[in-house]
Amino acid sequence: MRLFAKKKHPQDDMLLKEINKTKIAMEAAYSNFENVVDPDLIDSCIYEMNAVQNRYRFLLKQAKASEKNYC
């Protein structure tokens, strides 16, 4: 049984908000990709999906590092 809750830091809340915003952006990028037919737009959507996926990976690494620092 845990007697004391972990202290939350404002940076953690901000990081979680960024992760959620990035997840929404990723869903939008996938949706756009599924609905375009023009080759130029397909390339643009692929570029956008890759960028958002890289940002998501980065934020997850930041969250894991933050978790390790507070344990």
Distance CA 46, CA 29 (A): 8
Residue 20 in domain? no
Q: What is the pLDDT of residue 1?
A: 47
Phi, psi of 3 (to 5 degrees): -90, -35
The sign of the torsion formed by the CA atoms of 40, 43, 47, 53 equals positive
Residue 45 in domain? yes
Distance CA 44, CA 59 (A): 23
Q: What's this model's pTM, rounded to 2 decimal places?
A: 0.78
Residue 6 in domain? no
Residue 19 in domain? no
Q: What is the pLDDT of residue 60?
A: 94
Residue 21 in domain? no
Distance CA 28, CA 48 (A): 10
Q: What is the residue-level pLDDT of the chain in tens, covering all 71 positions?
A: 455 555 667 777 899 999 999 999 999 999 999 999 999 999 999 999 999 999 999 999 999 988 777 65
Residue 49 in domain? yes
Number of folded domains that form the chain: 1
> In which domain, by residue range, is 34 found?
26-70
